[in-house]
Amino acid sequence: MVSKSEINEGHYLELLDRLYILTENLHNHCLQHPLAEYDEEIYNSIEIALEATYDAYQLVGSKEYEDENENNTH
């Protein structure tokens, strides 16, 4: 497991970027795929994954904000 001392501010941006790319791929290439549009069960399953990815994105952004405030010496 990684320790907090091994995490730097660039890690937040990097993970946010990767989660953004994942949401774009899920939305544009999976959710809008003809089979997903045809089959409600497939669509709903992909939608759940997409919502979980959005939640993870928001969580990382929130943790980044907390970390910035914790390390702010002004």
0.75 exceeded by pTM: yes
pLDDT by residue (tens digit) across 13-66?
A: 999 999 999 999 999 999 999 999 999 999 999 999 999 999 999 999 999 999
pLDDT by residue (tens digit) across 6-25?
A: 999 899 999 999 999 999 99
Residue 12, sorted as left (phi over 0), alpha (psi -120 to 50) or beta, turns out to be alpha
CA distance 44 to 34: 14
